[in-house]
Structure 1
């Protein structure tokens, strides 16, 4: 077992023995933020493009417990009930985007007889951590109900500076350049997200955008990253929490497309980054990534 998973398991065991953390301990604790695309997470067994069994959901929950994050931005989840099969509702509050499904569904690619379920974004937020939900960033849908909106929350840790968080899942199929068929759609989402970033950068609170960007933002000269990371306003001086670290989730891909983007203020509080890989069978085609903020 990786050291991070072992440490998380020990922490969970201790919390079970001594109960919920006190207000004093919460004040001293850093804030751990994560992002995880859970790959077609359906609410019911045997449904969706990745049908799962009870044992699969149990394995996902064990992975989530080992991740041990205060806030997890989730993607590709059918519903709140689906997320609660992975994140214990006695320990986490779950919010998902309010987008109304188009109902179009469709067949799963390469998986005969299976139908696509709704893919939503959202958050799992540790109980006891105060937060305020903001209106979903539905402009990311570009008027198309098959595209995902962003879920927007302000988290207020006890005794710590608040942080505004946005969970996103952008259009797939344009991981680099601008010539693929999906690129025109992604490029229309870019200024929508830039507007959200710029408005947050002009406010008093630090912020982060977390999730599946379907884009290799760390590639030298990436135009999407250049648009967002333009230092205008000044707090739009952005950082990728992974820094120079390469992805390890799938040996075929060394570049992250899942990211935690921090504004200048949040980046100044970063004290660690982790990609939590799987032991044995991959539970999703994405691994969770996590960043720790000192306050």
Structure 2
């Protein structure tokens, strides 16, 4: 089923998160059609008892790519460790008659979905990640790079008076950052295991935590394209083990 979704979207660039391995990704995305660029963590991270959750990109083979080092500060490294959170997977793609596009696939800390909760440990970590992300954005700006950041922010960034988007906008400077998924309507059907009843349940997630933000220069016109959410049918959710995230996509 996920192969069908990828085929229907037929995207040139796919930002992925929570992927265990090249073998796992190859079951969903055709390796004869796409090149895979995994987070550097996949090179040294030992296999855990469960599954690994790497970020990365799948890019159609006709597109020239520079595979940059991960943006490791998102892992919140310390003096004693490289950090245990996910890194940002950073690539650069060449475009005909246009400046190169710098791309970051991210998966931020879970557990801080809404604005009012700012004091718990998850929110403190997310706040540090947003500060780190602001540094990456300002670096791209100083170098004159056009960029897109896509992935799982684990935050309802489109709600009013929330701090993640406000912080990113403030740090980037007024008008220097656009949220391509700002008006995306979320209605993602999924299955969730209820540990209390020991049963799978169908749910609908009506708030967006997957977002796409970019520098204004990536647009081909003054009209900001609206990112859309690809929604699974109830039949597909009931009969296949799908992701609990519905893909968000946009044309530039």
Tell me the TM-score normalized by structure 1: 0.70
The verdict on how the C-alpha distance between 1:226 and 1:272 changes in structure 2, with shifts beyond 3 A counting, is closer
* 1:227-254 deviation line (CA, Å, top 9, x unaligned): 111264566x222112323211136432
> Quick one: structure 1 residues 179 and 259, their matched pair in 2 at CA, closer, same or farther if it must change by over 3 Å?
same
Question: Which position in structure 1 is the counterpart of 2:63?
Answer: 129
Residue 158 of structure 2: which of 196, 218, 241 is its match?
218
Alpha-carbon distance between aligned partners in 1 of 2:57 and 2:4, rounded to the nearest angstrom = 18
Q: For the Cα contact (< 8 Å) 2:184–2:228, is it kept in 1? A: no
Contact preservation (8 Å) 1:84, 1:94: no
Matches within 5 A, 1:38-117: 59-99=1-41, 100-101=44-45, 105=48, 116-117=50-51
Moved more, 244-253 or 173-182: 244-253
1:74 touches 1:121 (CA, 8 Å); kept in 2? Answer: yes
Q: Residues of 2 paired with 1:245 and 1:234: CA distance?
A: 22
Q: Do structure 1's residue 290 and structure 2's residue 245 form an aligned pair?
A: no
State the shift of 1:264 in Å.
Answer: 2.1
Give the equivalent residue in structure 2 for 1:209: 149
Which residues in structure 2 correspond to 1:143-162 (within 5 Å)? 143=77, 145-162=83-100
Whether 2:236 is the aligned partner of 1:281: answer: yes
CA spacing shift, 1:281–1:271, aligned 2, 3 Å = same
Cα distance change of structure 1 residues 87 and 66 upon mapping to structure 2, 3 Å threshold = same
Whether the aligned pair in 1 keeps the contact of 2:180 and 2:225 (CA below 8 Å) is: no
Checking the alignment, whether the CA contact within 8 Å between 1:249 and 1:286 is kept in structure 2 is yes
Match of 1:109 in 2: none
Q: Distance in 1 between matches of 2:125 and 2:144?
A: 32
Q: How does 1:259-278 map to 2 (within 5 A)?
A: 259-267=211-219, 269=221, 270-278=224-232
Structure 1 residue ranges without an equivalent (≥5): 1-58, 106-114
Which stretches in structure 2 are left out of the alignment for 5+ residues?
A: 190-202
1:195 paired residue number: 135
Q: Could you tell me which residue of structure 1 aligns to residue 178 of structure 2?
A: 239
Q: Could you tell me whether the CA contact under 8 Å between 1:231 and 1:238 is conserved in 2?
A: no
Superposed displacement of residue 141, structure 1: 0.8
TM-score (norm 2): 0.82
Q: 2:76·2:84 contact (CA, 8 Å) conserved in 1?
A: no
Other structure's SS at 2:84 match = coil
